Structure 1
Amino acid sequence: MTITYFGYGSLVNASTVPAGAEIIPGRLSGWVREWRFCGMWENGQGRCALSVRRQPGAEIWGVMTREQPSRMGALEKRESRYEKISEIAQDFRCEAEKKPGPDDLFLFKATLENERWGCQVHPILQTYLDCVLAGFFQIWGEAGIRHFLQTTDGWHVPVLNDRSTPHYPRAVRLERDLEALIDDMLEPLNLTYVDPT
């Protein structure tokens, strides 16, 4: 018996899930990502993270992850400001086998309380964005980064450049070449950057 969920953001990055978890790349139809999750963290830092919404005709890449049931408590704590959405199995297709997900497949979506666009008070953390894009690069290379940028709404949300002093608890160290690639691919979006205080 396992728990099985679809990751579309930081959960795509294998370094943010426990060793031994089974990660299966796939595609989820009828959904789109968006920078529409806001919250204040323990250190008083407001930040914006990813959520999803249903959108007919859309498709996002991500991963189906299987973990032991004993991990559910830790997973729910990590995603405590999200709600579990089930009945998505038929929306998912494994890349390798083109099969749908198991009936118990679920994803995490922002709760109504936290569901709003990011802003100056709740910016995207650069280290969170780096972690997400590094995960997509690990699996799909440059095509993964490009797909993420094209299928995520809300690039008007400001970005806090916290690379020198990471605020994101699961920040990853990027190789220089990958950091440069990410910066080059973000440039056409004309993002608004906020300096850390």
Structure 2
Amino acid sequence: MTITYFGYGSLVNIDTIPANAEVTPGKLSGWLREWRVCGQGEDGQGRCALTVRQEDGAEIWGVMAREPRTQLADLERREQRYVKVEAVGVSFRCEALQQPGPEDLFLFQAAPEHLRWGCDQHPILQSYLDCVLAGFFRTWGEAGIDHFLDTTDGWHVPVLQDRARPHYPRKITLDPDLAELIDDKLRAHGIDYRKVKD
């Protein structure tokens, strides 16, 4: 028995999901990403994460991941600020074969109590954004980073520069060249950076 879900943010980065997950890149029609999930980490740091909303004519890249059903509880704990949206397979197209996803394909969308735009108290963590963009780069190269920036709403939300002392629990270490590329792309996109307070 397995579960199959669509990842559109940190779940795209295979370093953050179980090694036994089967991952297939693809596109989801009728949905758009946004920086609109707010909460607080175990360290007390407020943070803003990604969610999706339905949007006619929109399309986002992501991955279809299949895992053993025994791992569902761990996945749901990870996505504790979200609710499952079932049966999105009809909107998914596998990149390689242009086939729709399975009927039981689901995604995670912000739970109503956490659905609000990020702000000074709930910034985007640079360590989280690094993880997301590294996943997109691994799968689609530089075009993946560009696509993510262009198909995500909420870039008015400030980014907390926590790369040196990450608050994100699934932090990764970027290759220096990739870190420079990401920083250049974000600066060109007009990102509002905030320094970590000592």
TM-score by length of 2: 0.98
The letter of the residue matching 1:44 is: G
User: Structure 1: which 5+ residue stretches go unaligned?
Assistant: none
Asked if residue 61 in structure 1 is aligned to residue 61 in structure 2, the reply is yes
Aligned AA for 2:168?
Answer: Y
Listed one character per residue, the Cα deviations across residues 73-112 of structure 1 (whole Å, up to 9, x for unaligned) are 1000000110000121110000011111111100000001
| Shift in Å, 1:124 | 0.1
What are the superposed Cα offsets for residues 50-81 of structure 1, whole Å, 9 maximum, x if unpaired? 00000000000000000001000100000011
Quote the residue 2:153 is aligned against. Answer: 153
2:79 aligns with: 79
Structure 2 residue aligned with 1:186: 186
Alignment correspondent of 1:126? 126
Distance apart, 1:153 and its partner CA = 0.3
Tell me, in whole angstroms, the C-alpha distance in 1 between the residues paired with 2:121 and 2:158: 9
RMSD, aligned α-carbons: 0.6
Aligned with 2:121: secondary structure? coil
User: Residue 6 of structure 1 aligns with which residue?
Assistant: 6
For 2:163 and 2:146, the matched residues in 1 are separated by 21
**Counterpart amino acid of residue 133 in structure 1:** L
Alignment partner, residue 24 of structure 2: 24
Could you tell me how far 1:189 is from its partner in structure 2? Answer: 1.7
CA distance in 2, matches of 1:75, 1:34: 21
Q: Is the 8 A contact 2:43 2:167 kept in 1?
A: no
Residue-by-residue CA offset, 1:114-170 (whole Å, 9 max, x unaligned):
000000000000010000000000000000000000000000000000011000000
Cα distance, 1:40 vs structure 2: 1.2
Q: Secondary structure in 2 aligned to 1:93? A: strand
Once the two structures are TM-superposed, the CA of residue 192 in structure 1 deviates from its matched residue by: 1.2
Partner of 2:52: 52
2:103 is aligned with 1:93: no
Give the aligned residue type for 2:3. I
Map 1:25-40 → 2, pairs under 5 A: 25-40=25-40
Q: Distance in 1 between matches of 2:46 and 2:167?
A: 10
Q: Secondary structure at the match of 1:146?
A: helix
Structure 1 residue 193 displacement after superposition: 1.2
Partners of 1:195 and 1:184 in 2: how far apart? 17
Number of positions where the alignment pairs a residue of Structure 1 with one of Structure 2? 197
Contact 2:159 2:194 in 1 (8 A): yes
**Quick one: distance in 1 between partners of 2:35 and 2:173?**
23
Alpha-carbon distance in structure 1 between the residues aligned to 2:73 and 2:60 = 27
3-state secondary structure, aligned to 1:58: strand
Contact 2:51–2:110 at 8 Å: present in 1 too? Answer: yes
Determine the C-alpha separation between the residues in 2 that align with 1:169 and 1:31: 27
Question: Which structure 2 residue ranges, 5 or more long, are not aligned?
Answer: none
How many angstroms apart in 1 are the aligned matches of 2:112 and 2:183? 32
Q: C-alpha distance in 2, partners of 1:152/1:18?
A: 26
Question: TM-score normalised to the size of structure 1?
Answer: 0.99
